[in-house]
Amino acid sequence: MTETEKLLLCALERLQNDSKTQQQVLLDSFKSLQAMYEKTRQENQALANHCTRLNRQVEGLSNTVNRLARL
């Protein structure tokens, strides 16, 4: 094997290793983003439920105030 072939082989091996490393970094990042998305989705649902309960309470209080105002 010539010196040039050795250098090319070495360069190819480095590129393959770099590619594997980048692929793993991307996969880890994707998994992290998926986890963040799911957590945010759950938190948003909890907040939406809380807002719904608060709206019902406000409506109830508003009805009570209106009834009291008519007395």
Evaluate if pTM is beyond 0.85. Answer: no
| Tens digits of pLDDT across the chain (71 residues) | 899 999 999 999 999 999 999 999 999 999 999 999 999 999 999 999 999 999 999 999 999 999 999 98
- Which residue, among 15, 38, 19, has the nearest Cα to 30 in the 3D structure? 38
- Which residue, among 37, 34, 39, 60, has the nearest Cα to 68 in the 3D structure? 60
φ and ψ at residue 9, rounded to 5 degrees = -65, -45
At residue 71, the 3 state secondary structure works out as coil
